[in-house]
Amino acid sequence: MSEKSKNKAESDNLPDILEKRNNKNALEKINKPENETHAMKGLFDSLEKINMFKKFNFLSKLNFKQAKVNIANKIKNLRKETRVLEKVWKIVELSRNEDRPKTIDYINGIFSDFIELSGDRLSSDDKSITAGFGKINGQTVAVIGHNKGKDIKERIKYNFGSSNPSGYRKSRRIMELADRFNFPVITLIDTPGANPAIEAEDNGQAGAIAKNIEFMFNLKVPSIVVLIGEGGSGGALALAIGNYIMMLENATYSVISPEGCAAILWKDQSSTKQAASMLKLTAKDLLNLKVIDKIIHEPLGGAQNEPARMIKIVRDNLLIALTKFEGVSGEELKTERAKKYEVLGFYEK
């Protein structure tokens, strides 16, 4: 048989030949990580096909070099993107770590003579928010923070840190007292978001959050915010309008959870890590965007590894932050706070 006839025969029987070679695992092997994304798998498959085609005589004169270089570059870039996604997701996981110090731990470790106040003077007391007055270095301050709980019993009691309208009304009541008696307000944020249940909405969830935000903008005392874990959606923002906002290195702060974002945008939970990266929810991203003012670095591996040291670090940073507003009038505090939020964001013409 002539060379030309042989090439034609191979071309006509190409599908059968490919099938046989696949079944016999005769392809040149390429190391493919088992956990690669769909995009990565497609690129590796393309490389396999190129190696397969090179074995046919009638395709031997084609130059596959540039195609292989292009695919190799795409794989390199995709792996780089994957490393970034994994790094962001690691921070998300650390922000949710059950062993991280909770609001109660910070209150007990930082503030002396703390007196907790309960109830919203309207309906009930929401245990997912702890609020009261204490002293730090002899100075009386109002302290408000989310509770997640340390075990399943506490988590159920605190509704996993998802607050109800009564919790936001309680926090506003404490802030009103602080404003009246000229006590600085310190808030500790650690919530996946406000309670989304129908009962909470019926009880005025949106209005309670909105009134909190409005009231914090009008405070005539310093307001200092510390994001200690998760900072989810309006549930976090309701206590996060501050003159000075600090964020732990492995905390997060976003308009929606990565899971919720992936479900809405792509209807696919496998895109959760991509959503987390796109949300720019890490402390580093938010400092670059000027949403926060300072990153509080954590002990090696995360706050959960050395809780006592983490609490001391936060205490030291709070003392420094409080000195920034000594002698500043109430009107100046309001003006500075408003300007801080007015300049957030940008748009392209």
- What is the structure's pLDDT at 235? 87
User: Which of these three, 95, 130, 152, is where a domain ends?
Assistant: 95
137 in the same domain as 76: no
User: pLDDT value at position 311?
Assistant: 95
Residue 259: inside a domain: no
The pLDDT of residue 349 is: 60
User: How far is residue 224's CA from residue 145's CA, in Å, rounded to a whole number?
Assistant: 12
**Closest CA relative to residue 149, chosen from 170, 130, 175:** 130
Alpha-carbon gap, residue 188 to 285, rounded angstroms: 20
Of the three residues 95, 124, 146, the one that is the final residue of a domain is: 95
Per-position DSSP letters for 139-161, written without gaps between them: EEEEEEEE---SSHHHHHHTGGG
Q: Domain boundary residue among 72, 95, 118?
A: 95
pLDDT computed for residue 56 by the predictor: 53
Beta strands in 31-127 (DSSP E): 112-116
Identify whether 60 is part of a domain.
yes
pLDDT of the residue at 48 = 60
Are the C-beta atoms of 51 and 67 separated by less than 8 Å?
no
Whether residues 208 and 85 fall in one domain: no
Do 142 and 73 fall into the same domain? no
Tokens of 198: 């129908």
According to the model, what pLDDT value does residue 9 have?
A: 47
The three-point CA angle 120-162-173 to 5° equals 20
Residue 85 and residue 142 in one domain: no
DSSP state letter for 28 = P
**Range(s) of the domain holding residue 74:** 15-95
Query: Counting runs of H as helices and runs of E as strands, what totals does the chain give?
Result: 15, 7
Task: Evaluate whether 269 touches 263 at the Cβ level (below 8 Å).
Answer: yes
Cα–Cα distance for residue pair 58/51, rounded to 1 Å: 14
Q: How far apart are CA 179 and CA 331, in angstroms?
A: 12
Q: What is the pLDDT along the chain (349 residues), one digit of tens a residue?
A: 555 454 444 444 444 444 444 444 433 333 444 344 555 555 555 556 655 555 555 455 555 566 656 666 666 666 666 777 888 899 999 999 989 999 999 999 999 999 999 888 888 888 889 999 999 999 999 999 999 888 888 888 888 888 889 999 999 999 999 999 999 999 999 998 888 889 888 888 899 999 999 999 999 999 999 999 998 888 899 999 999 999 999 999 999 888 888 888 888 777 888 888 888 999 999 999 889 999 999 999 999 999 999 999 999 999 999 999 998 999 999 999 999 888 887 666 6
Same domain membership, residue 197 and residue 117: yes
What local confidence, expressed as pLDDT, does residue 307 receive? 94
Tokens for 240, please give them: 């996060």
Query: Could you tell me if residue 349 is inside a domain?
Result: no
The pLDDT value given to residue 78: 63
The per-residue pLDDT for 80 is 67
Position 199 in a domain: yes
* Domains identified in the chain, total number: 2
